[in-house]
Amino acid sequence: MRRMSLNTGSECVFENVVSKIFENAGYSVNQDGQLQHQLEYADIIAEKENRRYCIEVKYLQLRERAVDRICSIGKTHGMTPVAVVGSKIDDIRRNHYLEKYPDLILIDIANLLFAVQSYTELRNELIAALPFSIEEIEPQEGFLQIDILQHGDYTNSLIEEMNLCKAGGPLARTYEVLCHKLLENAFSEDLALWKEQQKSNNELYRFDLLCRIKDENQKTFWSILERYFKSKYVIFEFKNYNKPITQKEIYTTEKYLYAKALRSVGIIIAAHGYEENAYWAAKGCLRENGKLIILLDTDDLIEMNKLKQNSEDPSIFLLDKLDVMLSELEK
């Protein structure tokens, strides 16, 4: 019987990413880590070259009780114990654990970042799962290694897929998926949550993607959203229409924005851009209700990914859009 998970959504996402990292490092992986006794389990059981590993995954905090438990399970079942945590472990704690538990393999966020540093898609997933910025964390070589030769140029392949995605209803879901991937590719370091297709409580409205601005994010654009628009969350809408969107789509998106829920900002990405009346409607929402709706097209999304590819900050592109919108705003 599979154990009941007590993890939150974010913790489950992180555990799934860790499992993918082990898989891409050449391990066979089982996330249903039930052992012989029903009270004994590991988050992940992995195997490589006839060696088995019992893996404990902690999202943000690794406590000694969890380390002791996984080491005990490893000893009982002849497996190597592994503890993985999505935060940085300082040298004092690392040395303490390794001295007390000599068989333990310890993997922290710096080790995970090193493992995926040349695997863009997996790196995006890892960073997007974290609630904090990784700007101050230096990747550090550890136990896990991924063969990067098997992975191509992720950004260019996404852009090529998007260029092949024709506008219109039949490919609406494909467009949504590609927009999500391109946004995550550009902004995984800045945004967390990445929650798709949420209905409002009365189920009358549905937005495509909800993201949360990461804690300690110091980039100007996101700081402005938090400080001056009082928005911790950003809604994204994707419109794969055959023609430019109109003011109707602006007013629909406005209904999703709610200051008390800390979401006062929406970004609409439309395959064929927007009519002039849509832009005027967006300025009206800002002027009258303080709700910010930024309008982009597919080319804008691709351009932001090219900036990221060239080690530039793609949020500068959004900041320029905001500057223009605010400079044109009249009473």
Task: Give me the mean pLDDT over the 233-261 stretch.
Answer: 96
Residue 55 confidence (pLDDT): 97
**Could you give phi then psi for residue 60, rounded to 5 degrees?**
-130, -25
Cite the DSSP H helix spans in the chain. Answer: 9-24, 64-77, 91-100, 109-115, 120-128, 154-164, 172-187, 220-227, 247-254, 276-289, 298-309, 315-328
Residue 4 confidence (pLDDT): 43
Second CATH level (architecture) for the domain 154-328: 3-Layer(aba) Sandwich (3.40)
Q: What is the pLDDT of residues 276-293, one digit of tens each?
A: 999 999 999 999 999 999
Q: What is the pLDDT of residues 60-119, one digit of tens each?
A: 999 999 999 999 999 999 999 999 999 999 999 999 999 999 999 999 999 999 999 989
Reported CATH class of domain 9-150: alpha beta
| Mean pLDDT over each residue of the chain, to the nearest integer | 91
Contacts of residue 141, Cβ cutoff 8 Å, sequence gap at least 6: 111, 114
Q: Cα separation of 65 and 137, whole Å? A: 26
Global pTM reads 0.84
Asked if the domains 9-150 and 154-328 are classified in one and the same CATH topology, the answer is no
User: DSSP of 283-317, one letter per residue?
Assistant: HHHHHHH--EEEEEEHHHHHHHHHHHHTT--THHH
The domains of the chain are located at 9-150, 154-328
Q: What is the pLDDT of residues 104-127, one digit of tens each?
A: 999 999 999 999 998 999 999 999
